[in-house]
Structure 1
Amino acid sequence: MRPRSLRLRLGLAAATLIALALVLAGIGLTLIFDAVLEARTADELDRAAKQIAGEVSRAPDGSPVLAREPTDPRYAAPYGGLYWQVEAGKQLLRSRSLWDKRLGGPAEPAAPDDARTLDLPGPDGGSLIAVERSVAIGSREGETRLRIVVAEDRRDLAGSRATYLRLLVPSLGALFLLLTGAMALFVQRALGPFRTLQADLRAVHAGERARLPLHFPDEVRPLVLDLNRLLDAQERALVRARAGAADMAHGLKTPLAILDALARRIGGTEPDLAAELAGQARAMGGQVERALARARVAPPGDLRRRACPVAPAIERLVATLRRLPEGEGLGWSVSLPAGLAYPGEEGELMEAAGNLLDNARKWAHRRVRVAGSLGPDAARLTIEDDGPGMSEAAIAGLGRGVRWDENRPGTGFGLAIARDIADAAGAELTFGRSGLGGLRAELTWPQPGAGRSANAEAGT
């Protein structure tokens, strides 16, 4: 499964590329080190060959002799890893480190006063890097051509290479951590405009501003312009929808009033027909009220939905309902936390909660209880009464415009309207049995920070 976080994907890609670059750099540095080490070793062996050439002479029998042998103790230790050899025809002079072995080489000697680098087998089965020089000693009449070979065991070079790698690998590892940390800071800074955009979108959601500001880099600016165009289009669509709903409602009011008047007029002669007409007129009126309520609230996708405090709106509603019939004699209990905020405009909350409180007022015997709570993920507003309550089947039928009890005034659309308003705000309206014995209506909506924290963990 691919990670959804852009920061994580960029970080992993950068770390992979840095690791690949450092591996290639390590291989290149190792090759360079090997070449430099071999060249330096060949240079040291050439200097040793020149030193031996300066010390060599001929004995009376014509054999080569050294006035002074090289001082490096490895020349004296059998198979010590450093060897020299002087050939004068069939006569041979060699270091003690060769013991009873001799250094081979090409049959063709090196050019006079020139050096060449060779790879030779060692006396103990190892591999040697060797430098060969061809020098002449004596007078022109009695000149003797000498072949001088100085060699070193490559295992000594391998030890130097191992020491180099022991230093190189941790250094590259530390460099990887340093570059990865620097790249993480770079990615963090590069994604800064998106974090700013997220904060500005929150401000638009909260209703603190109507449009997104344009202080963004050129790469992000087209996205901001498109979002602003989307806000403009949404606002125009909302205005048209509200105007259309209002026009429809006003257009239906006169025909509904006429139907109601006709029902009353024929009530004395045709009571059944009058009742049918009155019922249909009430149903149509309820549908109109529901359509108007939907038009007044912001749609679910509105980017500029505001939040409003719950306690002041509920207190005003309760104060109003106390003065209505069947409300004066009820005991109203309101307990709401100060930080409880509804994710919509105050008018939406007043309409939704007003329908729920009015329903509780109609059916309560003595008590109506309003309570709220704030949780880490969700907030709740609960309205309960001690009325007769409802069965589960009746609760399941709420919101369909069906009258619960014909003995109470109303069309049954109040609870449906409350549910529509709750849905538009991203809240959930549920009904159940109250602890007081009657109906419990509960509005639940997510806390503003809950969704954003989850998105932050999965996002940039």
Structure 2
Amino acid sequence: MNSGSLRLRLGLAAAGLIALALVLAGIGLTLIFDRVLDARTADGLDRTAKLIAGQVALAPDGAPTLPREPPDSRFSTPYGGLYWQVERAGGTALRSRSLWDRSLGTLPDTSEEPAVGDLAGPDGGRLIAVTRRVSIPGNGGTVALAVTVAEDRRDLAQSRATFLRLLVPSLGALFAALTLAMSLFVRRALAPFRTLRADLAAIHAGAQARLPDTFPEEVRPLVADLNRLLDAQERDLERARTGAGDMAHGLKTPLAVLDALARRTEAADPVLAAEIAEQAHAMGRQVERTLARARAASGGLRRRACPVGPALARIVGALKRLPEGESLRWEIAVPENLAFPGDEGDLTEILGNLLDNARKWAHRRIRVSGGAEGGEHRLVLEDDGPGMSEAAIAGIARGRRWDETRPGTGFGIAIARDLAEAVGARMRLSRSELGGLRVEMRWPVPAA
């Protein structure tokens, strides 16, 4: 999947958004957990404060006493992490053994009861504390006491760490599941475009003429525009073919007149007659090439593939009946599944021009081979004639004749090259191991 893939870009964008959402969710869940943990801890501390407030009494000297301490062993362990303190305003304070020689502060009085907040711990840590203010009878009246119970936040940090150890892999698993689900969703959402691509490939191959109307509503406008483009192209193609035919018909008469004039003046001026005939012939070949280019350029999207074997057999059969054709040895080795990416008329003209040229120059052998190689189809035509020089090959590329001694030599190869390139094939001229010209055509293997 390359970097320009819409599926890849949508998948990466979805994965990024999912990751961002899960990170924000993780932060939010952690904050919620901290709030809930603080509230639950404060509730437990308040219950302990109420238990202490219910048991506290005053000694004869007015000092607070507690007949029975809370049962949690951390209250009796120095710096055990759980502390309580009962303080009388302006008097002495009663503390748990866990405070050792230290004392707790008292949270400021608030409108809410109990007061909840943080205090400094006896060992330098932070404590979450609850202070509940109560009044008990004593000395002929009531005495105000402040009961404070606190817990070290380091104990809460262990619970938070345990929560995070469970939260992170859970969010990771959720990320994987959501990313997979989003990938399947994107694949499903892009399915109409894969179908559209397959239908366009079928149109290119000539299997169908139009796109079907079975696409989702969001894709139908695009399909309708493509169908209109196909219809307009078909009309343009028909007009181009008609115009090419009209042009050919209109030029036949002037060329025939020139040829007749050449024959009429042959007795009086053979040199002039030969020059007129040669120029008329050159004009005819140039017209043929121009018409071939016009027809090939109108191939468009609706391109049909045709098998090479049957067309090759017909052309070879016809050329064998021409002068010098019967004496040649024709070696044909083309697989049945070799298909040319154009219509049969273009293939016939390409093979006809190339094989007729080979027939004119071959001494004894003409070899035609083909097959698939490196994701491409290839077709190779060779002969054992004199071959062509690099300068002659360059001249063929410009549409010039490469030999003036034989009529038409060179134009046929140029026309064949134009037709091949118009359908996406590449043609290369070189010297064959047989000694003559080697013409190789290559074109991509059609997608399945």
- Alignment pair present for 1:68 and 2:58: no
- Note the C-alpha offset of 1:348: 1.0
Distance (Å, rounded) in 2 between the aligned partners of 1:395 and 1:186: 55
Distance (Å, rounded) in 2 between the aligned partners of 1:429 and 1:202: 24
Match of 1:391 in 2: 389
- The one of 319, 324, 339 equivalent to 2:337 is 339
SS of equivalent to 1:138: strand
- Note the C-alpha offset of 1:61: 2.9
Match of 2:417 in 1: 419
Moved more, 270-279 or 323-332: 270-279
- Note the C-alpha offset of 1:138: 2.2
Distance (Å, rounded) in 1 between the aligned partners of 2:338 and 2:85: 97
SS of equivalent to 2:380: strand
- Alignment pair present for 1:172 and 2:171: yes
Q: Deviations over 1:260-283 (max 9, x none)?
A: 111111111122221221111111
* Cα distance, 1:289–1:56 mapped onto 2, change above 3 Å: same
SS of equivalent to 2:368: strand
- Note the C-alpha offset of 1:105: 2.1
SS of equivalent to 2:45: helix
Q: How does 1:277-356 map to 2 (within 5 A)?
A: 277-297=276-296, 299=298, 302-356=300-354
Match of 2:27 in 1: 27
Residue identity over aligned pairs, in percent, reads 68
The residue identity in structure 2 corresponding to 1:385 is D
Structure 2, gaps ≥5 residues long: none
**Contact 1:376–1:447 (CA<8 Å) still a contact in 2?**
no
Match of 1:200 in 2: 199
TM-score, structure 2 as length reference: 0.95
**Contact 2:362–2:385 (CA<8 Å) still a contact in 1?**
yes
The residue identity in structure 1 corresponding to 2:233 is Q
Distance (Å, rounded) in 2 between the aligned partners of 1:331 and 1:353: 17
- Note the C-alpha offset of 1:139: 5.8
Match of 1:455 in 2: none
TM-align CA RMSD: 1.8
SS of equivalent to 2:140: coil
**Contact 1:401–1:411 (CA<8 Å) still a contact in 2?**
no
Distance (Å, rounded) in 2 between the aligned partners of 1:190 and 1:158: 46
SS of equivalent to 1:369: strand
Match of 1:125 in 2: 124
Distance (Å, rounded) in 2 between the aligned partners of 1:263 and 1:445: 44
Moved more, 276-285 or 399-408: 399-408
Distance (Å, rounded) in 2 between the aligned partners of 1:118 and 1:329: 112
* Cα distance, 1:37–1:231 mapped onto 2, change above 3 Å: same
Match of 2:375 in 1: 377
Q: Deviations over 1:275-301 (max 9, x none)?
A: 22111111111122223323443636x
SS of equivalent to 2:141: coil
- Note the C-alpha offset of 1:400: 4.2
**Contact 1:331–1:366 (CA<8 Å) still a contact in 2?**
yes
Distance (Å, rounded) in 2 between the aligned partners of 1:275 and 1:153: 117
**Contact 2:285–2:408 (CA<8 Å) still a contact in 1?**
no
Structure 1, gaps ≥5 residues long: 453-460
**Contact 1:331–1:367 (CA<8 Å) still a contact in 2?**
yes
* Cα distance, 1:109–1:430 mapped onto 2, change above 3 Å: closer
Distance (Å, rounded) in 1 between the aligned partners of 2:50 and 2:430: 106
SS of equivalent to 1:135: strand
Q: Deviations over 1:47-79 (max 9, x none)?
A: 000000111122233322212110101100001
Match of 1:97 in 2: 98
The residue identity in structure 2 corresponding to 1:60 is P
Q: Deviations over 1:149-194 (max 9, x none)?
A: 1111111111111111111111111111111111111000000000
Distance (Å, rounded) in 1 between the aligned partners of 2:195 and 2:303: 19
Match of 1:157 in 2: 156
Distance (Å, rounded) in 2 between the aligned partners of 1:409 and 1:116: 113
SS of equivalent to 1:316: helix
Q: How does 1:219-234 map to 2 (within 5 A)?
A: 219-234=218-233
* Cα distance, 1:245–1:78 mapped onto 2, change above 3 Å: same
Distance (Å, rounded) in 1 between the aligned partners of 2:43 and 2:57: 24
SS of equivalent to 1:253: helix
Distance (Å, rounded) in 2 between the aligned partners of 1:378 and 1:136: 98
- Note the C-alpha offset of 1:144: 2.2
Match of 1:361 in 2: 359
Moved more, 358-367 or 264-273: 264-273
* Cα distance, 1:159–1:371 mapped onto 2, change above 3 Å: same
Q: Deviations over 1:375-426 (max 9, x none)?
A: 1321111111111222221122125454433443335321111111101111
Match of 1:259 in 2: 258
Distance (Å, rounded) in 2 between the aligned partners of 1:248 and 1:350: 21
Count matched residues.
Answer: 446
Distance (Å, rounded) in 2 between the aligned partners of 1:343 and 1:100: 98
Distance (Å, rounded) in 2 between the aligned partners of 1:9 and 1:109: 59
* Cα distance, 1:188–1:203 mapped onto 2, change above 3 Å: same
**Contact 1:399–1:413 (CA<8 Å) still a contact in 2?**
no
Q: Deviations over 1:63-118 (max 9, x none)?
A: 22212110101100001110001123412211000001111125x6567x941113
Distance (Å, rounded) in 1 between the aligned partners of 2:36 and 2:99: 27
* Cα distance, 1:83–1:402 mapped onto 2, change above 3 Å: closer
Q: How does 1:5-84 map to 2 (within 5 A)?
A: 5-84=5-84
Distance (Å, rounded) in 2 between the aligned partners of 1:115 and 1:402: 106
**Contact 2:119–2:126 (CA<8 Å) still a contact in 1?**
yes
SS of equivalent to 1:448: coil
The residue identity in structure 2 corresponding to 1:257 is A
Distance (Å, rounded) in 2 between the aligned partners of 1:399 and 1:132: 100
